[in-house]
Amino acid sequence: MNMTSELSLANLNHLAEKYLERISLAKDISELEQVYQAAFSRKSGEISNIMHELKDLAPDKKKEIAPYAQDLRQKIETALANKKIQLGDVSQDQTFFDATVPSKDSGRGHIHPATQVIWEIEDFFRSLGFMILDGPEVDSTFFNFEGVNIPKDHPARDMQDTFYLDENIALRPHTSNCQVRAMREYGAPLRAIVPGRCYRNENRDARHEHTFLQFEGFMIDEGISIANFRDVIDQFFKRFINEKTETRIRPGYFPFVEPGFEFDFKCFCDGFCGLCKGTGWIEFGGAGMIHPNVLKHGHIDPDKFSGWAFGFGPERLAMIRKQIPDLRLFRSGDLRFLEQF
Ligand code: DAH
């Protein structure tokens, strides 16, 4: 049989009949698999060969025959797929794929618990007139460190140990990298928060992760003082913890603020509990009055403007409110965890 006779229309029709009949008579999956191989096996499948030979036909002939050959192939594929469903073997189907078979219902997802709390926090600050800004997760050592008053060789760089791409570029260890960027972009007065992912070279445990979220916040204007910070943070805890909670600040050191402090809120317990370890207070974040050097790097005149800044981890807030025991769960991808929220 020469090539042209094989590729005649009559021959294609004959093949169609032959295969459709073999498919309809197949009694089980292995018989159907044999039909599939006879038609489509790469080396010797009759239909595969025809599709291959089409390429070598003279253009006129190709134009005439190709649509019929395509049609033939499709008919046989569809018949195979339908028969496979009829024989009850769809799930293990490796050889051919029928896009019309409805998928198993995999359920509807929902917003990740960390994102839920981020959105809530953003709403709160938006209602107080804060902008919500975004910034780079891979940033220069200037914005990560020098810009926020952590010079080279300063011991504070150990606390912020991160992953370096080269000597001058690193994954940001805190969202404070956006302070100077925001000041340069928007000038003063300025009220902004920056939520985002940060990275540190940490030994992982229930409270430390190499990848975690932070919220940076700052308010800069003429005559801003710690009193403004206390007011904002009081309202924050009333909204996110409860109406009755109290706030406290205590001295703390961060190179980018002067004075610097840490801020806590009053624990839910009456006496001893694991969360506050019997102290009655829960440590929440760091804050302070923005250091004049940082304002200068941001091209803001420290003699005219002052401001406060804070940083905290929203995952910690979610952990406290929803009694999540381990920070690592957030990035575990474990549905048993995620489905609880
Ligand atoms: N960047 C600090 C950290 O990652 C958190 C922080 C502390 C941010 C004090 C601030 C601040 O803006 O004023 O540990």
93 to 15, 45, 99, 203: CA distances (angstroms): 24, 19, 12, 45
CB atoms within 10 A of CB 290: 27
Residues with CB under 6 A from ligand 1: 174, 176, 216, 254, 256-257, 286-288, 309-311
Walk along the chain (341 residues) in steps of 10 and give the mean pLDDT of each run. 60 91 91 92 87 86 88 91 81 64 78 96 98 97 96 84 93 97 98 97 92 97 98 96 93 96 90 82 96 98 98 95 92 93 91
Provide the residue count of the chain. Answer: 341
- Please tell me the predicted confidence (pLDDT) of residue 1: 39
Q: What is the DSSP letter of 270?
A: S
Q: What is the whole-number distance in angstroms between the Cα of residue 246 and the centre of ligand 1?
A: 21
Substitution candidate for ligand 1 out of 208, 212, 254, 294 with most atoms within 8 A of CB = 254
| The CATH number of domain 113-338 is 1.10.645.10 | no
CA distance 112 to 314: 13
- Please tell me the predicted confidence (pLDDT) of residue 91: 54
Q: In what order do the strands lie in the sheet with 138-140?
A: 138-140, 169-171, 164-166
CA distance 62 to 55: 8
Q: At what angle do helices 314-322 and 113-127 cross, to 10 degrees?
A: 110
All CATH 3.30.930.10 domain ranges of the chain, comma separated, are: 113-338
Q: Which atom of ligand 1 is nearest to the CA of 257?
A: 13
Per DSSP (E only), the strands in the chain are 131-132, 138-140, 164-166, 169-171, 190-199, 211-221, 247-251, 257-266, 281-290, 306-312
- Please tell me the predicted confidence (pLDDT) of residue 289: 98
CA distance 187 to 56: 70
- Please tell me the predicted confidence (pLDDT) of residue 235: 96
Q: What is the whole-number distance in angstroms between the Cα of residue 169 and the centre of ligand 1?
A: 20
CB atoms within 10 A of CB 238: 15
- Please tell me the predicted confidence (pLDDT) of residue 316: 93
- φ, ψ for residue 41 (rounded to 5)? -60, 145
Q: Which atom of ligand 1 is nearest to the CA of 176?
A: 1
Residue with tokens 């089980």: 28
- Please tell me the predicted confidence (pLDDT) of residue 95: 59
Contact at 8 Å (CB) between 249 and 261?
yes
The residue contributing the CA closest to ligand 1 atom 5 is 311
Q: Which atom of ligand 1 is nearest to the CA of 217?
A: 12
